[in-house]
Chains A and B, each alone.
Chain A
Amino acid sequence: MTLGLYTAGDSWLHRLFPITKLIFSLSAIAIIFGGPNKWLSAILPGVISILILWSAGIAWRALKLIVQLLTPIAVILFIVHGFFGPANHQILMRLGPFVLGQEGLMYASLIVVRLVSTLASSLLLVTSTHPGSLIQALEQTGLSRKLVYLLGSPLLLLPQMARRIQTIRSAQQSRGLETQGNLLQRIKALFPLVAPLVFSALVDVEERSLALEVRGFSAPTPKTNLTEIPDTTKQQVLRWGMIVIAVCFLVFEFWRKRNGYD
Protein backbone atom coordinates (compact mmCIF):
# COMPACT_ATOMS: atom_id res chain seq x y z
CA MET A 1 0.00 0.00 0.00
CA THR A 2 1.53 3.28 -1.07
CA LEU A 3 0.29 6.80 -0.63
CA GLY A 4 -1.11 6.39 -4.09
CA LEU A 5 -2.60 9.74 -5.09
CA TYR A 6 0.18 12.16 -4.17
CA THR A 7 2.43 13.17 -7.06
CA ALA A 8 5.73 14.64 -5.94
CA GLY A 9 6.66 17.99 -7.48
CA ASP A 10 7.79 21.53 -6.84
CA SER A 11 5.17 23.65 -8.60
CA TRP A 12 3.49 26.69 -7.05
CA LEU A 13 0.51 24.46 -6.27
CA HIS A 14 2.71 22.00 -4.37
CA ARG A 15 4.19 24.86 -2.36
CA LEU A 16 0.84 26.36 -1.30
CA PHE A 17 -0.17 25.97 2.33
CA PRO A 18 -2.22 22.73 2.37
CA ILE A 19 -5.16 24.35 4.17
CA THR A 20 -5.55 26.83 1.30
CA LYS A 21 -6.01 23.90 -1.07
CA LEU A 22 -8.34 22.15 1.37
CA ILE A 23 -10.55 25.24 1.60
CA PHE A 24 -10.55 25.52 -2.20
CA SER A 25 -11.73 21.89 -2.53
CA LEU A 26 -14.44 22.23 0.10
CA SER A 27 -15.75 25.54 -1.31
CA ALA A 28 -15.75 24.07 -4.82
CA ILE A 29 -17.71 21.00 -3.70
CA ALA A 30 -20.22 23.18 -1.82
CA ILE A 31 -20.80 25.25 -4.97
CA ILE A 32 -21.00 22.18 -7.24
CA PHE A 33 -23.87 20.70 -5.26
CA GLY A 34 -25.55 23.78 -3.82
CA GLY A 35 -24.80 26.68 -6.16
CA PRO A 36 -27.25 28.58 -8.41
CA ASN A 37 -27.74 27.52 -12.06
CA LYS A 38 -26.98 23.84 -11.56
CA TRP A 39 -25.13 23.28 -14.85
CA LEU A 40 -22.85 26.29 -14.54
CA SER A 41 -22.21 25.58 -10.84
CA ALA A 42 -21.36 22.00 -11.73
CA ILE A 43 -18.99 22.81 -14.60
CA LEU A 44 -17.08 25.93 -13.50
CA PRO A 45 -15.33 24.62 -10.35
CA GLY A 46 -14.18 21.59 -12.33
CA VAL A 47 -12.80 23.69 -15.19
CA ILE A 48 -11.00 26.00 -12.74
CA SER A 49 -9.53 23.00 -10.92
CA ILE A 50 -8.27 21.42 -14.14
CA LEU A 51 -6.70 24.75 -15.21
CA ILE A 52 -4.93 25.05 -11.86
CA LEU A 53 -3.75 21.43 -12.07
CA TRP A 54 -2.57 22.11 -15.63
CA SER A 55 -0.52 25.12 -14.57
CA ALA A 56 1.09 22.93 -11.90
CA GLY A 57 1.86 20.25 -14.48
CA ILE A 58 -0.23 17.46 -12.93
CA ALA A 59 -3.47 17.83 -14.92
CA TRP A 60 -2.71 14.80 -17.05
CA ARG A 61 -2.36 12.51 -14.06
CA ALA A 62 -5.50 13.95 -12.45
CA LEU A 63 -7.49 13.38 -15.63
CA LYS A 64 -6.26 9.80 -15.82
CA LEU A 65 -7.36 9.24 -12.22
CA ILE A 66 -10.76 10.79 -12.93
CA VAL A 67 -11.29 8.48 -15.91
CA GLN A 68 -10.10 5.48 -13.91
CA LEU A 69 -12.28 6.21 -10.87
CA LEU A 70 -15.43 7.40 -12.62
CA THR A 71 -15.75 5.36 -15.83
CA PRO A 72 -17.67 2.46 -14.22
CA ILE A 73 -20.04 4.81 -12.41
CA ALA A 74 -20.55 6.99 -15.51
CA VAL A 75 -21.27 4.07 -17.85
CA ILE A 76 -23.80 2.52 -15.47
CA LEU A 77 -25.38 5.95 -14.79
CA PHE A 78 -26.01 6.55 -18.49
CA ILE A 79 -27.38 3.05 -19.07
CA VAL A 80 -29.58 2.95 -15.98
CA HIS A 81 -30.99 6.47 -16.21
CA GLY A 82 -31.04 6.54 -20.02
CA PHE A 83 -33.14 3.41 -20.28
CA PHE A 84 -34.91 3.15 -16.94
CA GLY A 85 -34.92 6.75 -15.68
CA PRO A 86 -38.13 7.38 -13.74
CA ALA A 87 -38.54 10.82 -15.35
CA ASN A 88 -38.13 9.61 -18.94
CA HIS A 89 -40.76 11.10 -21.21
CA GLN A 90 -39.15 12.29 -24.45
CA ILE A 91 -38.19 9.15 -26.39
CA LEU A 92 -34.91 9.34 -28.32
CA MET A 93 -34.41 5.77 -29.54
CA ARG A 94 -35.82 2.27 -29.25
CA LEU A 95 -33.59 -0.78 -28.76
CA GLY A 96 -35.81 -3.86 -28.77
CA PRO A 97 -37.86 -3.67 -25.58
CA PHE A 98 -35.79 -0.77 -24.19
CA VAL A 99 -36.52 2.92 -24.70
CA LEU A 100 -33.85 5.59 -24.42
CA GLY A 101 -35.26 8.69 -22.76
CA GLN A 102 -33.96 12.25 -22.92
CA GLU A 103 -34.72 13.25 -19.33
CA GLY A 104 -32.78 10.29 -17.94
CA LEU A 105 -29.77 11.08 -20.12
CA MET A 106 -29.78 14.73 -19.06
CA TYR A 107 -30.01 13.72 -15.42
CA ALA A 108 -27.17 11.21 -15.79
CA SER A 109 -25.06 13.87 -17.56
CA LEU A 110 -25.58 16.35 -14.73
CA ILE A 111 -24.57 13.77 -12.12
CA VAL A 112 -21.47 12.78 -14.14
CA VAL A 113 -20.42 16.41 -14.65
CA ARG A 114 -20.85 17.06 -10.93
CA LEU A 115 -18.80 13.98 -10.03
CA VAL A 116 -16.01 14.88 -12.48
CA SER A 117 -15.93 18.41 -11.08
CA THR A 118 -15.95 17.19 -7.48
CA LEU A 119 -13.18 14.73 -8.16
CA ALA A 120 -11.10 17.33 -10.03
CA SER A 121 -11.34 19.77 -7.14
CA SER A 122 -10.50 17.13 -4.54
CA LEU A 123 -7.63 15.77 -6.63
CA LEU A 124 -6.26 19.31 -6.71
CA LEU A 125 -5.68 18.87 -2.99
CA VAL A 126 -4.65 15.23 -2.74
CA THR A 127 -2.39 14.93 -5.79
CA SER A 128 -0.36 18.01 -4.90
CA THR A 129 -0.20 17.56 -1.11
CA HIS A 130 1.65 14.86 0.76
CA PRO A 131 -0.79 13.45 3.37
CA GLY A 132 1.82 14.14 6.05
CA SER A 133 2.02 17.83 5.11
CA LEU A 134 -1.76 18.15 5.16
CA ILE A 135 -1.91 16.69 8.65
CA GLN A 136 0.93 18.88 9.88
CA ALA A 137 -0.79 21.93 8.43
CA LEU A 138 -4.00 20.95 10.22
CA GLU A 139 -2.03 20.78 13.45
CA GLN A 140 -0.50 24.21 12.81
CA THR A 141 -4.01 25.57 12.27
CA GLY A 142 -5.03 24.29 15.69
CA LEU A 143 -6.52 20.80 15.23
CA SER A 144 -6.36 18.81 18.48
CA ARG A 145 -3.22 16.72 18.86
CA LYS A 146 -5.29 13.59 19.48
CA LEU A 147 -7.05 13.97 16.13
CA VAL A 148 -3.74 14.71 14.44
CA TYR A 149 -2.40 11.44 15.84
CA LEU A 150 -5.48 9.56 14.61
CA LEU A 151 -5.05 10.93 11.09
CA GLY A 152 -1.29 10.50 10.93
CA SER A 153 -0.64 7.22 12.68
CA PRO A 154 -2.73 5.05 10.30
CA LEU A 155 -0.74 6.41 7.36
CA LEU A 156 2.47 5.13 8.93
CA LEU A 157 0.87 1.88 10.07
CA LEU A 158 -0.66 0.95 6.72
CA PRO A 159 2.55 -0.12 4.96
CA GLN A 160 3.57 -2.12 8.07
CA MET A 161 0.26 -3.97 8.21
CA ALA A 162 0.29 -4.55 4.48
CA ARG A 163 3.68 -6.23 4.88
CA ARG A 164 2.42 -8.26 7.81
CA ILE A 165 -0.57 -9.57 5.85
CA GLN A 166 1.83 -10.51 3.06
CA THR A 167 3.86 -12.57 5.55
CA ILE A 168 0.75 -14.21 6.98
CA ARG A 169 -0.47 -15.03 3.49
CA SER A 170 2.79 -16.70 2.43
CA ALA A 171 2.94 -18.62 5.71
CA GLN A 172 -0.61 -19.92 5.38
CA GLN A 173 -0.21 -20.71 1.69
CA SER A 174 2.91 -22.73 2.39
CA ARG A 175 0.77 -24.72 4.82
CA GLY A 176 -1.64 -25.43 1.97
CA LEU A 177 -4.20 -22.61 2.27
CA GLU A 178 -6.26 -22.14 -0.90
CA THR A 179 -7.09 -18.49 -1.66
CA GLN A 180 -8.80 -19.29 -4.93
CA GLY A 181 -11.54 -21.72 -5.96
CA ASN A 182 -15.22 -21.83 -5.09
CA LEU A 183 -16.98 -19.52 -2.66
CA LEU A 184 -16.77 -21.94 0.27
CA GLN A 185 -13.02 -22.33 -0.18
CA ARG A 186 -12.54 -18.58 -0.30
CA ILE A 187 -14.67 -18.05 2.83
CA LYS A 188 -12.58 -20.71 4.58
CA ALA A 189 -9.42 -18.84 3.55
CA LEU A 190 -10.63 -15.64 5.23
CA PHE A 191 -10.13 -16.67 8.85
CA PRO A 192 -6.55 -18.00 8.69
CA LEU A 193 -5.63 -14.74 6.97
CA VAL A 194 -7.53 -12.27 9.10
CA ALA A 195 -7.34 -13.76 12.60
CA PRO A 196 -3.53 -13.58 13.04
CA LEU A 197 -3.56 -10.05 11.63
CA VAL A 198 -6.30 -8.82 13.95
CA PHE A 199 -4.95 -10.37 17.12
CA SER A 200 -1.32 -9.41 16.52
CA ALA A 201 -2.40 -5.86 15.67
CA LEU A 202 -4.52 -5.58 18.80
CA VAL A 203 -1.72 -6.89 20.99
CA ASP A 204 0.45 -4.08 19.60
CA VAL A 205 -2.06 -1.51 20.81
CA GLU A 206 -0.92 -1.71 24.40
CA GLU A 207 2.71 -1.27 23.46
CA ARG A 208 1.90 1.64 21.21
CA SER A 209 -0.12 3.42 23.87
CA LEU A 210 2.66 2.94 26.42
CA ALA A 211 5.17 4.32 23.94
CA LEU A 212 2.97 7.40 23.47
CA GLU A 213 2.55 7.94 27.19
CA VAL A 214 6.26 7.62 27.86
CA ARG A 215 6.88 10.38 25.30
CA GLY A 216 4.46 12.72 27.02
CA PHE A 217 1.65 12.45 24.48
CA SER A 218 -1.08 13.47 26.91
CA ALA A 219 1.02 16.09 28.69
CA PRO A 220 -0.72 19.46 28.37
CA THR A 221 2.42 21.42 27.48
CA PRO A 222 2.79 22.75 23.93
CA LYS A 223 4.89 20.63 21.56
CA THR A 224 7.54 21.87 19.16
CA ASN A 225 7.67 20.76 15.53
CA LEU A 226 10.94 20.10 13.80
CA THR A 227 9.75 21.74 10.60
CA GLU A 228 7.05 24.26 9.88
CA ILE A 229 5.00 24.54 6.70
CA PRO A 230 5.03 28.20 5.62
CA ASP A 231 1.75 30.10 5.35
CA THR A 232 1.34 33.65 4.02
CA THR A 233 -1.06 36.50 4.77
CA LYS A 234 -2.03 36.51 1.09
CA GLN A 235 -3.18 32.92 1.37
CA GLN A 236 -5.05 33.69 4.55
CA VAL A 237 -6.99 36.41 2.72
CA LEU A 238 -7.53 34.04 -0.20
CA ARG A 239 -8.97 31.37 2.11
CA TRP A 240 -11.46 33.75 3.66
CA GLY A 241 -12.32 35.03 0.19
CA MET A 242 -13.13 31.51 -1.01
CA ILE A 243 -15.27 30.80 2.04
CA VAL A 244 -17.19 34.06 1.59
CA ILE A 245 -17.78 33.37 -2.12
CA ALA A 246 -19.04 29.83 -1.45
CA VAL A 247 -21.34 31.01 1.35
CA CYS A 248 -22.70 33.83 -0.86
CA PHE A 249 -23.51 31.37 -3.65
CA LEU A 250 -25.26 28.98 -1.28
CA VAL A 251 -27.26 31.72 0.43
CA PHE A 252 -28.24 33.22 -2.93
CA GLU A 253 -29.44 29.84 -4.19
CA PHE A 254 -31.33 29.16 -0.96
CA TRP A 255 -33.03 32.56 -1.20
CA ARG A 256 -33.91 31.97 -4.87
CA LYS A 257 -35.43 28.55 -4.14
CA ARG A 258 -37.38 29.85 -1.17
CA ASN A 259 -38.92 32.62 -3.20
CA GLY A 260 -39.92 30.17 -5.90
CA TYR A 261 -37.67 31.36 -8.75
CA ASP A 262 -37.19 27.83 -10.06
Chain B
Amino acid sequence: MSLKEQLKKDFSTFTLALIAVAIVLNIVIGQIVSLLKLPIFLDSIGTVLVALVAGPWAGGLTGLLTNLIWGLITDPVAAAFAPVAMIIGIAAGLCAKYGLFKKWWGVIISGVIITVALSIIAIPIRVYMFGGITGSGADFITAYLLATGKDLFSAVIITVITDNLLDKIVTAFLAWFIVKGLPKRFISRTPRANAVLE
Protein backbone atom coordinates (compact mmCIF):
# COMPACT_ATOMS: atom_id res chain seq x y z
CA MET B 1 0.00 0.00 0.00
CA SER B 2 1.40 3.42 -0.86
CA LEU B 3 1.80 6.04 1.85
CA LYS B 4 -1.03 8.11 0.42
CA GLU B 5 -3.47 5.20 0.47
CA GLN B 6 -2.36 4.24 3.97
CA LEU B 7 -2.89 7.81 5.21
CA LYS B 8 -6.31 7.93 3.62
CA LYS B 9 -7.22 4.69 5.38
CA ASP B 10 -5.70 5.88 8.68
CA PHE B 11 -7.59 9.17 8.61
CA SER B 12 -11.14 8.07 7.93
CA THR B 13 -14.00 10.15 9.34
CA PHE B 14 -14.23 7.57 12.12
CA THR B 15 -10.57 8.08 13.04
CA LEU B 16 -11.01 11.85 13.00
CA ALA B 17 -13.93 11.63 15.42
CA LEU B 18 -11.84 9.26 17.56
CA ILE B 19 -8.87 11.66 17.60
CA ALA B 20 -11.11 14.55 18.68
CA VAL B 21 -12.46 12.48 21.58
CA ALA B 22 -8.96 11.22 22.49
CA ILE B 23 -7.66 14.79 22.70
CA VAL B 24 -10.37 15.61 25.22
CA LEU B 25 -9.69 12.38 27.14
CA ASN B 26 -6.00 13.35 27.42
CA ILE B 27 -6.89 16.69 28.94
CA VAL B 28 -9.71 15.49 31.21
CA ILE B 29 -7.90 12.39 32.53
CA GLY B 30 -4.75 14.45 33.07
CA GLN B 31 -6.86 16.75 35.26
CA ILE B 32 -8.50 13.90 37.23
CA VAL B 33 -5.09 12.40 37.95
CA SER B 34 -3.69 15.68 39.18
CA LEU B 35 -6.81 16.15 41.35
CA LEU B 36 -6.22 12.73 42.88
CA LYS B 37 -2.56 13.78 43.44
CA LEU B 38 -1.15 10.59 41.93
CA PRO B 39 2.59 10.43 41.19
CA ILE B 40 1.96 9.93 37.45
CA PHE B 41 0.37 12.08 34.69
CA LEU B 42 -1.64 9.78 32.39
CA ASP B 43 -2.16 12.76 30.12
CA SER B 44 -1.20 10.81 27.01
CA ILE B 45 -3.55 7.87 27.42
CA GLY B 46 -5.78 9.05 24.54
CA THR B 47 -2.69 9.54 22.37
CA VAL B 48 -1.49 5.98 22.94
CA LEU B 49 -5.01 4.64 22.47
CA VAL B 50 -5.31 6.28 19.04
CA ALA B 51 -1.80 5.10 18.16
CA LEU B 52 -2.81 1.50 18.93
CA VAL B 53 -5.96 1.43 16.81
CA ALA B 54 -5.15 3.95 14.07
CA GLY B 55 -1.37 3.93 13.72
CA PRO B 56 1.61 6.21 14.41
CA TRP B 57 0.52 9.19 12.29
CA ALA B 58 -2.92 9.46 13.88
CA GLY B 59 -1.33 8.94 17.32
CA GLY B 60 1.29 11.62 16.71
CA LEU B 61 -1.34 14.08 15.51
CA THR B 62 -3.43 13.41 18.63
CA GLY B 63 -0.48 14.25 20.89
CA LEU B 64 0.53 17.34 18.94
CA LEU B 65 -2.98 18.80 18.88
CA THR B 66 -3.62 17.97 22.55
CA ASN B 67 -0.76 20.21 23.65
CA LEU B 68 -1.55 22.95 21.13
CA ILE B 69 -5.18 23.11 22.34
CA TRP B 70 -4.06 22.96 25.93
CA GLY B 71 -1.71 25.86 25.20
CA LEU B 72 -4.53 27.78 23.57
CA ILE B 73 -6.98 27.49 26.45
CA THR B 74 -5.05 27.13 29.72
CA ASP B 75 -1.28 27.19 29.64
CA PRO B 76 0.84 28.36 26.68
CA VAL B 77 3.84 26.55 28.24
CA ALA B 78 2.19 23.24 27.28
CA ALA B 79 2.40 24.21 23.60
CA ALA B 80 6.20 24.21 23.87
CA PHE B 81 6.04 20.48 24.61
CA ALA B 82 3.73 19.66 21.69
CA PRO B 83 6.55 17.93 19.74
CA VAL B 84 7.14 15.67 22.78
CA ALA B 85 3.47 14.68 22.87
CA MET B 86 3.66 13.97 19.15
CA ILE B 87 6.64 11.63 19.54
CA ILE B 88 4.76 9.67 22.23
CA GLY B 89 2.01 8.88 19.71
CA ILE B 90 4.41 8.05 16.89
CA ALA B 91 6.54 5.77 19.10
CA ALA B 92 3.49 3.96 20.51
CA GLY B 93 2.07 3.46 17.01
CA LEU B 94 5.34 2.05 15.71
CA CYS B 95 5.60 -0.32 18.71
CA ALA B 96 2.09 -1.56 17.93
CA LYS B 97 2.86 -1.89 14.23
CA TYR B 98 5.82 -4.16 14.96
CA GLY B 99 3.77 -6.39 17.24
CA LEU B 100 4.95 -5.25 20.67
CA PHE B 101 1.39 -4.74 21.91
CA LYS B 102 0.46 -8.43 21.59
CA LYS B 103 1.92 -9.69 24.90
CA TRP B 104 2.15 -8.06 28.33
CA TRP B 105 5.96 -8.01 28.34
CA GLY B 106 5.89 -6.31 24.95
CA VAL B 107 3.74 -3.58 26.49
CA ILE B 108 6.41 -2.97 29.15
CA ILE B 109 9.10 -2.79 26.45
CA SER B 110 6.86 -0.35 24.53
CA GLY B 111 6.61 1.85 27.64
CA VAL B 112 10.40 1.94 27.81
CA ILE B 113 10.75 2.68 24.08
CA ILE B 114 8.18 5.50 24.31
CA THR B 115 10.08 7.01 27.26
CA VAL B 116 13.41 6.90 25.41
CA ALA B 117 11.85 8.37 22.26
CA LEU B 118 10.14 11.24 24.07
CA SER B 119 13.33 12.00 26.01
CA ILE B 120 15.22 12.64 22.79
CA ILE B 121 12.80 15.47 22.02
CA ALA B 122 12.00 16.61 25.57
CA ILE B 123 15.58 17.04 26.78
CA PRO B 124 16.69 19.73 24.29
CA ILE B 125 13.43 21.64 24.85
CA ARG B 126 13.81 21.50 28.63
CA VAL B 127 17.50 22.46 28.56
CA TYR B 128 17.54 25.22 25.93
CA MET B 129 14.15 26.74 26.52
CA PHE B 130 13.61 26.21 30.25
CA GLY B 131 17.14 25.90 31.63
CA GLY B 132 16.31 22.33 32.69
CA ILE B 133 13.50 23.42 35.04
CA THR B 134 9.77 22.93 34.58
CA GLY B 135 8.35 24.05 37.93
CA SER B 136 7.26 20.55 38.96
CA GLY B 137 8.41 18.17 41.69
CA ALA B 138 10.84 16.54 39.29
CA ASP B 139 13.03 19.66 39.53
CA PHE B 140 14.33 18.35 42.85
CA ILE B 141 16.00 15.47 41.03
CA THR B 142 17.65 17.93 38.62
CA ALA B 143 18.79 20.13 41.52
CA TYR B 144 20.20 17.16 43.41
CA LEU B 145 22.08 15.86 40.37
CA LEU B 146 23.53 19.30 39.66
CA ALA B 147 24.60 19.56 43.30
CA THR B 148 26.45 16.26 42.97
CA GLY B 149 28.44 17.75 40.11
CA LYS B 150 26.58 16.49 37.03
CA ASP B 151 26.30 18.82 34.04
CA LEU B 152 22.87 20.21 33.14
CA PHE B 153 22.33 17.94 30.14
CA SER B 154 22.95 14.65 31.98
CA ALA B 155 20.96 15.87 34.99
CA VAL B 156 17.96 16.57 32.75
CA ILE B 157 18.33 13.22 30.93
CA ILE B 158 18.08 11.35 34.23
CA THR B 159 15.20 13.54 35.46
CA VAL B 160 13.12 13.12 32.30
CA ILE B 161 13.58 9.35 32.25
CA THR B 162 12.81 8.77 35.96
CA ASP B 163 9.87 11.16 35.72
CA ASN B 164 8.34 9.44 32.69
CA LEU B 165 9.21 5.75 32.79
CA LEU B 166 6.53 4.62 35.25
CA ASP B 167 3.94 6.92 33.69
CA LYS B 168 4.51 5.66 30.17
CA ILE B 169 4.48 1.98 31.17
CA VAL B 170 1.21 2.47 33.09
CA THR B 171 -0.22 4.49 30.18
CA ALA B 172 0.74 1.76 27.70
CA PHE B 173 -0.94 -0.88 29.87
CA LEU B 174 -4.12 1.11 30.39
CA ALA B 175 -4.44 1.89 26.68
CA TRP B 176 -3.83 -1.78 25.88
CA PHE B 177 -6.53 -2.91 28.32
CA ILE B 178 -8.97 -0.35 26.94
CA VAL B 179 -8.41 -1.58 23.36
CA LYS B 180 -8.89 -5.18 24.50
CA GLY B 181 -12.10 -4.17 26.27
CA LEU B 182 -13.64 -2.35 23.31
CA PRO B 183 -16.62 -3.92 21.55
CA LYS B 184 -15.84 -5.79 18.30
CA ARG B 185 -18.17 -3.47 16.40
CA PHE B 186 -15.95 -0.53 17.36
CA ILE B 187 -12.68 -2.34 16.68
CA SER B 188 -13.81 -3.40 13.20
CA ARG B 189 -14.15 0.23 12.16
CA THR B 190 -10.58 1.20 13.19
CA PRO B 191 -7.85 0.83 10.58
CA ARG B 192 -5.10 -0.83 12.61
CA ALA B 193 -6.43 -2.50 15.77
CA ASN B 194 -5.46 -5.92 14.38
CA ALA B 195 -1.83 -5.14 15.18
CA VAL B 196 -2.77 -5.15 18.87
CA LEU B 197 -5.30 -7.95 19.13
CA GLU B 198 -4.27 -11.55 18.66
- Seen from chain A, the residues whose Cβ lies within 8 Å of a Cβ on chain B are 1, 3-6, 33, 69-70, 72-73, 76-77, 79-81, 83-86, 107-108, 111, 114-115, 118-119, 122-123, 126, 131, 134, 146, 149-151, 153-155, 157-158, 161-162, 165, 179, 183, 186-187, 189-190, 193-194, 197-199, 201-206, 208-209, 212-213, 217-218
| A interface footprint on B52-80 (CB within 8 Å = 1, 0 otherwise) | 00000000010001001101111111010
Q: Is B118 an interface residue (CB 8 A)?
A: no
B131→A86 contact, CB < 8 A:
no
A84→B32 contact, CB < 8 A:
no
Is the contact region of chain A dominated by helix, strand, or loop, or is it mixed?
helix
Given contacts A33-B128, A80-B139, A190-B32, contact A73 B133 (CB under 8 A): yes
Residues of A within 8 A of B146 (CB): 80, 84-86
Residues of A within 8 A of B3 (CB): none
Question: Interface segment, B9-17, B88-96, B102-110, B161-169?
Answer: B9-17
Assembled-state Cα–Cα distance A151/B182 (Å): 25
Q: Name the CB-closest residue of B to A71.
A: B135
Among candidates B21, B31, B74, B131, residue contacting A5 with C-beta atoms closer than 8 Å: B74
16 contacts between A and B (CB under 8 A): A1-B73, A6-B73, A33-B128, A80-B142, A80-B146, A86-B151, A119-B77, A126-B72, A134-B72, A146-B11, A151-B65, A158-B27, A189-B36, A190-B32, A190-B33, A212-B17
CB of B177 to closest CB in A, whole Å = 9
Is the contact region of chain B dominated by helix, strand, or loop, or is it mixed?
helix
A154→B69 contact, CB < 8 A:
yes
Assembled-state Cα–Cα distance A193/B38 (Å): 14
| A interface footprint on B165-193 (CB within 8 Å = 1, 0 otherwise) | 00000000000001001110110010000
B99-141 contacts to A, CB under 8 A, are: 128-135, 139
Assembled-state Cα–Cα distance A177/B101 (Å): 32
Assembled-state Cα–Cα distance A202/B65 (Å): 18
Q: Name the CB-closest residue of B to A129.
A: B72
Q: Name the CB-closest residue of A to B13.
A: A209
CB of A163 to closest CB in B, whole Å = 10
B24-57 contacts to A, CB under 8 A, are: 24-25, 27-29, 31-33, 35-39, 45
Assembled-state Cα–Cα distance A84/B65 (Å): 36
A209→B14 contact, CB < 8 A:
yes
Residues of B within 8 A of A131 (CB): 69, 72-73
Among candidates A81, A189, A190, A201, residue contacting B21 with C-beta atoms closer than 8 Å: A201
Residues of A within 8 A of B178 (CB): 198-199, 202
Residues of B within 8 A of A193 (CB): 32, 36
Q: Is B158 an interface residue (CB 8 A)?
A: no
Q: Is B87 an interface residue (CB 8 A)?
A: no
Q: Is B147 an interface residue (CB 8 A)?
A: yes
CB of A130 to closest CB in B, whole Å = 10
Residues of B within 8 A of A122 (CB): 71, 76, 79
Q: Is B143 an interface residue (CB 8 A)?
A: yes
B143→A84 contact, CB < 8 A:
yes
Q: Which one of B69, B76, B135 has the greatest number of beta carbons of chain A within 10 Å? A: B76
B36→A150 contact, CB < 8 A:
no
Residues of B within 8 A of A190 (CB): 32-33, 36, 38
B28→A162 contact, CB < 8 A:
yes
Among candidates B13, B129, B134, B143, residue contacting A218 with C-beta atoms closer than 8 Å: B13
CB of B184 to closest CB in A, whole Å = 12
B129→A149 contact, CB < 8 A:
no
Residues of A within 8 A of B16 (CB): 146, 149-150, 209, 212
- Which 10 pairs, one residue from A and one from B, show the smallest C-beta to C-beta distance? A72-B135, A111-B131, A73-B135, A84-B146, A209-B17, A153-B20, A208-B17, A122-B76, A154-B23, A209-B14
B76→A151 contact, CB < 8 A:
no
Q: Is B195 an interface residue (CB 8 A)?
A: no
